[in-house]
Amino acid sequence: MIRIGRVFLFMMLVVLFQNTLAQEMLNPKEDFLYDGKYFGAYSPYVTLGVGYGVNYKQQEGEQNIAADFHLYHKNVGYNIGYFSSSSRFLEGTGGLRQFESRQKLHDLHLGVGYRYERLRHIFAIYGGPSYVGGRVPTDTISSLSTFIIRRGPGLYLQAHYAYKVAYDVGLGVTFYAAYSKHYKIIGVQAHIFLSSAFKAYYKRK
C-alpha cells in the first residue's frame, strides 16, 4: 500500500508543478477567460480511480485502483499510468488482523489516443503497451495457498468520461481492459479528474 501511495503522491506533484508553470506562461491569445479566471485548453491532467473488474484468467471478480497522467500534444493524446488489481486488497477477520491479498497484478502502461474536451465535459480513449507483474495461484491441488510470480509484456486500453464541476476538477467513469499472457481483466472505475488548466485570475486594468 505504501508503494501505491507513492504513485498517487507523484501524480499530485506533477499536477501542482504543471499548475505553477502554467501561471508563468499565460498567453491570452491562446488561453480563454471564464468566470474571472484564465484557463488553458487541453491542459495536462491526472485521473485517480478505484473500481471493480473481472479477471477472466482466474474466473473471479477483483478490486482495483489506478493513477494516470494525461497530456495533449499536436492534436494527439498521450498517457502514462499505474494500475493494480487484486482479489481483495485487504483480507482477514477485521481490525488489526488485516493483510494484503497475495494474488495481485501491477501494471505500468503507456498509451496514445484521442481526447475531446469542452467546458464541462471531457472524453478520452487510450491504448498501448504495458509491463505487468504480480502473483497468481499455481495450477495445483494446493492452489489456494501456493502462488507464483509472473512478469511480461501486455496491452492496456482505457476510455473515460468526466464531468467537470469546475474547469480543472471533475468526477467521472473509466472503462478499462488489461491483457497479457497471465492476466486478462476487464472492468469499470469511478475516478477523480484533476487538471492543471487554471493559469491566473483576470485582473481588470
| pLDDT tens string 143-188 | 455 777 788 999 999 999 999 998 889 999 999 999 998 888 999 9
| Number of H-type helices and E-type strands within the chain | 1, 13
**Residue 113 within any structural domain of the chain:** yes
- Whether residue 19 contacts residue 37, with contact meaning beta carbons closer than 8 Å, is answered with no
User: What's residue 9's pLDDT?
Assistant: 54
pLDDT > 80? residue 4? no
**Residue 108 within any structural domain of the chain:** yes
Give the pLDDT band of residue 79 (cuts 50, 70, 90). Answer: very high
pLDDT > 90? residue 102? no
Query: Residue 81 sits in which domain range?
Result: 2-200
**Residue 50 within any structural domain of the chain:** yes
**Residue 85 within any structural domain of the chain:** yes
Query: What mean pLDDT comes out for the span 92-110?
Result: 65
User: What's residue 203's pLDDT?
Assistant: 74
Q: How far apart are CA 184 and CA 181, in angstroms?
A: 8
- Whether residue 62 contacts residue 185, with contact meaning beta carbons closer than 8 Å, is answered with yes
- Whether residue 17 contacts residue 9, with contact meaning beta carbons closer than 8 Å, is answered with no
Looking at per-residue pLDDT, the higher value among 35 and 115 belongs to 115
**Residue 195 within any structural domain of the chain:** yes
Q: How many domains in the chain? A: 1
- Whether residue 115 contacts residue 127, with contact meaning beta carbons closer than 8 Å, is answered with no
**Residue 9 within any structural domain of the chain:** yes
Looking up residue 134, the CATH number of its domain turns out to be: 2.40.160.20
What is the identity of the amino acid at 121?
A: H
**Residue 205 within any structural domain of the chain:** no
User: What's residue 172's pLDDT?
Assistant: 96
pLDDT > 50? residue 47? yes
